């Protein structure tokens, strides 16, 4: 029986008078990849923001590894092991490519504040940065500002940093947004690697359904802030009503 | 000789005062305007301690320790208030401090101020004091350089773009912002201590709006989170108004012209490089 690591129960989120999420419940098991789909504005990103602690809940509970995390600020949730990537890529464009890795590395590895001035840590960090950037073909851009990278390269950099994150679950928001088709395969490979080799459970939001269905174990469909259905990718694809109301005929 | 020494001293003092603001405003995009309040606080703390009979060195230590404690008031405001309210709070702190100094006659000397502030032994001559001020300036610059190389510097730079992204890495932006505010406050207080040792007199006009405008001008003009830009900006802002001295302008007007020049510079800089100073915030 796989261990449940994230449990979302009857979660509702309200912005002003508008109810963005209504009684959403689902769970994520250890090393499972869960996809979240739905039309624009149905509350997918808000759901990830609620899990990360960036938006307050109107009602419901969120537990991580059996612990209620409702009262924890975002950084504490990250320290517990909930990693996050963002719709517009959480990369610091004014920092160098190298520093974007280092800022994640020094936190994840709990380096002392003076590590930059000790040869032992510098060597260790240098090795990790090199290895991480090599894996995503960004080593040549090591000293460049991250802001000059293309959309796809920025996504790869974000995933390279996530790989160094110490935790159990990653929330990935639209990894293929603004990415050229040629890079999508590489992104999928890295996400699979994060799951299989690094043992992360992954919750991924994606509009590219082919990309998503090839990747995930389970899909949660949101429509108008409510959970419409949940199931294996093949079950979701067969649902006639879903095809009509959401996919416009066929998947 | 005295003129050049005074100008060098002013440069060292301005750099000391502006480093903290550079760290908060130019690096972290935290609009903390309490640097000049802390400058005055440091100056008054050293003067009052001396009045109470403490040795100049000991009074400087007391001033720095008190400034650390006092800076937590700003940290509390940073944690509790929104960005805009925090900026207004730090701005009004200077007015509140000035009012306190003016009205608390028995301790601060009120509008008459405190005269006869002693320099530490070995620095009774201006030349010796200026050398000490330059050493302090270099130490403070090294401190900022080190901070920029650590996770605090990187996190502050990250916060310019998005606090959410920094928090998602497991870093408390409140903690990082708080550390930057305490460092800024202590550096400004140290600059206040060395300045009051030079002028040996203190009254309520010591930290005026002029000082605030000067500090913000240096920090904003530097724009980039690089030490060399801060130094260039401080040199430019300190020495540029000196050209007025060689023009046929009544000396009483020079002070007004200086603040006018700083203000114009500030407006021009904000209009031309505001994107560099305040990068577009990214949302989630």
Query: Which two three-digit tokens encode residue B9?
Result: 């001293």
Residues in Cβ contact with B65 at an 8 Å cutoff, skipping those fewer than 6 apart: none
Q: Per-residue pLDDT averaged across B68-78, rounded?
A: 96
Query: DSSP string spanning A51-76?
Result: HHTSS--SEEEEEETTEE-TT--HHH
CB-CB: which of B149, B154, B170 is closest to A75?
B170
Cα of A74 to nearest chain B Cα, Å: 6
- Which has the closest alpha carbon to A173: A13, A27, A49, A14? A49
CB-CB: which of A78, A92, A94 is closest to B167?
A78
Q: How far is CA B36 from each of CA A133, B9, B60, B142, B154, rounded to the nearest angstrom? A: 44, 17, 17, 21, 26
Nearest CA in chain B to A113: B150
Show the beta-strand stretches assigned E in chain A: 4-15, 18-29, 33-37, 59-64, 67-68, 82-84, 169-173, 201-205, 218-223, 226-231
How do residues B138-182 score in pLDDT, each as one tens digit? 999 999 999 999 999 999 999 988 999 999 999 999 999 999 999
Q: Do B167 and A73 touch (CB under 8 A)?
A: yes
* Residue B125 scores a pLDDT above 60: yes
Q: Per-residue pLDDT averaged across A125-135, rounded?
A: 93
Q: Do B283 and A88 touch (CB under 8 A)?
A: yes
How do residues B207-224 score in pLDDT, each as one tens digit? 777 788 888 888 888 877
SS3 per-residue string spanning chain B: CHHHHHHHHHHHHHHHHHHHHHHHHHHCCCCCCCHHHHHHHHHHHHHHHHHCCCCHHHHHHHHHHHHHHHHHHHHHHHHHCCHHHHHHHHHHHHHHHHHHHHHCHHHHCHHHCEECCCCCCCCCCHHHHHHHHHHHHHHHHHHHHHHHHCHHHHHHHHHHHCHHHHHCCCCCHHHHHHHHHHHHHHHHHHHHHHHHHHHCEECCCCCCHHHHHHHHHHHHHHCCCCHHHHHHHHHHHHHHHHHHHHCCCCHHHHHHHHHHHHHHHHHHHHHHHHHHHCCCCCCC
* Residue B263 scores a pLDDT above 90: no
How do residues A134-151 score in pLDDT, each as one tens digit? 989 999 999 999 999 998
Name residue, tokens 């940290």: B75
In angstroms, the CA B263 to CA B270 distance is 11
* Residue B248 scores a pLDDT above 90: no
Average pLDDT, chain A: 91
HSE (CB half, 13 Å, CA atoms) of A40?
1
What band does B3 get if pLDDT is binned at 50, 70 and 90? confident
Return the CATH fold of A4-91+168-245: Rossmann fold (3.40.50)
Query: Which two three-digit tokens encode residue A37?
Result: 């789909």
Q: How far is CA A202 from each of CA A26, A30, A217, A218, rounded to the nearest angstrom? A: 14, 9, 10, 11
Give the A:B interface size as CB pairs under 8 Å.
78
Name residue, tokens 């050293």: B46
In angstroms, the CA A84 to CA A75 distance is 11
- pLDDT at residue B119 in the model: 93
How do residues B30-67 score in pLDDT, each as one tens digit? 999 999 999 999 999 999 999 999 999 999 999 999 99
- pLDDT at residue B276 in the model: 62
- pLDDT at residue B128 in the model: 93
- pLDDT at residue A156 in the model: 92
Sheet holding A226-231, edge to edge: A67-68, A59-64, A4-15, A18-29, A226-231, A218-223, A33-37, A201-205, A169-173, A82-84
Q: How far is CA A242 from each of CA A212, A221, A250, B167, rounded to the nearest angstrom? A: 16, 9, 9, 37
Contacts of residue B152 in chain A, CB cutoff 8 Å? 113
* Residue A70 scores a pLDDT above 70: yes
Nearest CA in chain A to B174: A75
In angstroms, the CA B133 to CA A170 distance is 51
- What is the phi/psi pair of residue A60, to 5°? 100, 175
- Triad A116, A119, A124: Cα angle to 5°: 80
Enumerate chain B positions whose Cβ falls within 8 A of a Cβ in A: 146, 149-152, 154-155, 157-158, 160-162, 164-173, 279, 282-284
Cα of B122 to nearest chain A Cα, Å: 34
Q: Per-residue pLDDT averaged across B75-85, rounded?
A: 93
Q: Do A94 and B160 touch (CB under 8 A)?
A: yes
Residues in Cβ contact with B74 at an 8 Å cutoff, skipping those fewer than 6 apart: B32, B34, B89, B90, B93, B181, B185
Domains in chain B: ranges and CATH: 2-277 (1.10.3470)
Query: Which two three-digit tokens encode residue B132?
Result: 């000490």
Nearest CA in chain A to B152: A113
What Rg value do the Cα atoms of chain B yield, rounded?
19
Show the beta-strand stretches assigned E in A98-244: 169-173, 201-205, 218-223, 226-231
* Residue A15 scores a pLDDT above 50: yes
Q: Per-residue pLDDT averaged across A56-64, rounded?
A: 95
Residue A3 DSSP code: P
Between residues A50 and B112, the one the model is more confident about: A50
- pLDDT at residue A251 in the model: 44
Pairing of strands B201-202, B114-115: antiparallel
Percentage of chain B surpassing pLDDT 90? 55
What is the location of CATH 3.40.50.300 in chain A? 4-91+168-245
- pLDDT at residue A22 in the model: 95
Q: Per-residue pLDDT averaged across B84-99, rounded?
A: 92
Maximum Cα–Cα distance for chain B, whole Å? 59
Q: Do A92 and B172 touch (CB under 8 A)?
A: no
Q: Do B172 and A75 touch (CB under 8 A)?
A: yes
- Which has the closest alpha carbon to B233: B142, B141, B151? B141
What band does A105 get if pLDDT is binned at 50, 70 and 90? very high
- pLDDT at residue B164 in the model: 93
Q: How far is CA A110 from each of CA A114, A163, A208, rounded to the nearest angstrom? A: 11, 15, 36
What Rg value do the Cα atoms of chain A yield, rounded?
19
Name residue, tokens 């008078």: A17
ipTM: 0.91
Give the number of other Cβ atoms within 10 Å of residue A240's Cβ.
Answer: 7
Q: Per-residue pLDDT averaged across A206-233, rounded?
A: 92
CB-CB: which of B157, B168, B173 is closest to A95?
B157
- What is the phi/psi pair of residue B221, to 5°? -65, -35
Cα of B150 to nearest chain A Cα, Å: 6
In angstroms, the CA B242 to CA A85 distance is 52
Contacts of residue B146 in chain A, CB cutoff 8 Å? 117
Cα of A14 to nearest chain B Cα, Å: 17
- pLDDT at residue B275 in the model: 64
Contacts of residue A106 in chain B, CB cutoff 8 Å? 151, 154
């Amino acid at each position: 029986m796989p261990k449940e690591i994230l449990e979302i129960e009857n979660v509702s989120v309200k912005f002003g008078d508008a109810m963005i999420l209504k009684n959403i419940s689902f769970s994520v098991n250890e090393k499972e990849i869960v996809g979240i789909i739905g039309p624009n504005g149905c509350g997918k990103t808000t759901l990830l923001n609620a899990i990360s602690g960036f938006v307050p809940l109107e009602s419901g509970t969120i537990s991580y590894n059996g612990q209620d995390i409702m009262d924890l600020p975002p950084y504490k949730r990250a320290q517990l092991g909930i990693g996050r990537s963002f719709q517009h890529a959480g990369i610091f464009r004014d920092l160098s490519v190298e520093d974007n890795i280092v800022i994640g590395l020094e936190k994840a590895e709990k380096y002392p504040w003076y590590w930059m001035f000790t040869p032992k840590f510098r060597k260790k960090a240098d090795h990790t940065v090199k290895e991480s950037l090599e894996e995503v073909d960004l080593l040549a851009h090591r000293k460049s500002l991250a802001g000059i990278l293309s959309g796809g390269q920025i996504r790869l950099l974000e995933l390279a940093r996530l790989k160094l994150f110490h935790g159990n679950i990653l929330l990935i928001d639209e990894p293929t947004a603004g990415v050229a088709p040629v890079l999508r395969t590489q992104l999928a490979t890295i996400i699979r690697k994060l799951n299989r080799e690094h043992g992360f459970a992954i919750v991924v939001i994606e509009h590219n359904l082919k990309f998503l269905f090839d990747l995930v174990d389970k899909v949660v469909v949101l429509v108008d802030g409510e959970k419409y259905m949940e199931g294996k990718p093949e079950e979701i694809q067969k649902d006639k009503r879903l095809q009509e109301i959401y996919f416009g005929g066929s998947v | 000789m005295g003129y050049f020494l005074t100008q060098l001293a002013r440069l060292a003092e301005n750099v000391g005062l502006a480093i903290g603001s550079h760290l908060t405003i130019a690096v972290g995009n935290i609009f903390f305007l309490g640097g000049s309040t802390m400058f005055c606080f440091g100056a008054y703390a050293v003067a009052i301690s001396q009045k109470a009979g403490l040795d100049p060195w000991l009074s400087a230590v007391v001033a720095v320790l008190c400034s650390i404690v006092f800076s937590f008031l700003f940290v509390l405001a940073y944690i509790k208030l929104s960005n805009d309210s925090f900026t207004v709070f730090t701005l009004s702190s200077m007015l509140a401090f000035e009012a306190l100094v003016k009205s608390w006659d028995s301790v601060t000397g009120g509008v008459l101020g405190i005269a006869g502030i002693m320099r530490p032994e070995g620095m009774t001559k201006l030349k010796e004091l200026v050398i000490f001020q330059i050493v302090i300036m270099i130490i403070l610059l090294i401190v900022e350089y080190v901070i920029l190389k650590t996770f605090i510097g990187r996190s502050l730079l990250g916060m310019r773009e998005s606090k959410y992204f920094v928090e998602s890495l497991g870093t408390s932006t409140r903690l990082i912002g708080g550390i930057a505010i305490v460092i800024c406050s202590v550096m400004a207080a140290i600059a206040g201590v060395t300045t009051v040792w030079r002028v040996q007199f203190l009254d309520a006009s010591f930290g005026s709006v002029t000082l605030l405008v000067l500090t913000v001008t240096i920090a904003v003009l530097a724009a980039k989170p690089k030490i060399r830009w801060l130094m260039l900006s401080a040199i430019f802002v300190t020495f540029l108004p000196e050209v007025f001295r060689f023009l046929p302008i009544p000396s009483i007007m020079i002070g007004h012209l200086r603040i006018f020049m700083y203000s114009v510079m500030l407006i021009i800089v904000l209009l031309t490089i505001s994107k560099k100073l305040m990068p577009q915030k990214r949302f989630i």
